[in-house]
Amino acid sequence: MPLADGGEDTAEILADNLNGQILSMGEVQGPLKTMQSEGVYVELSEGRAVVEMAQDSGLAQLGLNGKDPMSSNTFGTGQVLAYLIDAGVKEILLTLGGSASSDGGTGAAGGLGLEVF
């Protein structure tokens, strides 16, 4: 069975092995405020989904010269999580590897509508 460490391609591997479907909710904020990213998630069985932070807020989107962990954030991942919660998903597996950010998840919290002080 293929394995992944929670970063790039984890959602695809889980979809392939758990009969999931990779879906998009449309554009979300990318790892930098000036970027857009496709809000991707994996729909599993009833009320279950996988969100891969690397896909929505990941290093791979920045290229070799664009990596800036102090300016990047996970807001787009929070937008995907909020979309799934609003859609009635009851169980969400969030994979954390491959994030472009060092925000400790505060960006994702902002994407969910929370304020961090």
pLDDT in tens, 47-96: 899 999 999 999 888 887 788 888 899 999 999 999 999 999 999 999 99
| Mean predicted lDDT score pLDDT of the chain | 92
Of the two residues 46 and 82, the one the predictor is more confident about is 82
Percent with pLDDT over 70 in the chain: 100
Does 1 score more than 80 pLDDT? no
Instruction: Report, as an integer, the average pLDDT of 29-44.
Output: 94
SS3 assignment for the chain: CCCCCCCCCHHHHHHHHCCCEEEEEEEEECCCCCCEEEEEEEECCCCEEEEEHHHHHEHHHHCCCCCCCCCCCCHHHHHHHHHHHHCCCCEEEEECCCECCCCCCHHHHHHCCCCCC
Give the start-to-end residue ranges of the domains of the chain: 10-111
What is the CATH architecture of 10-111? Alpha-Beta Complex (3.90)
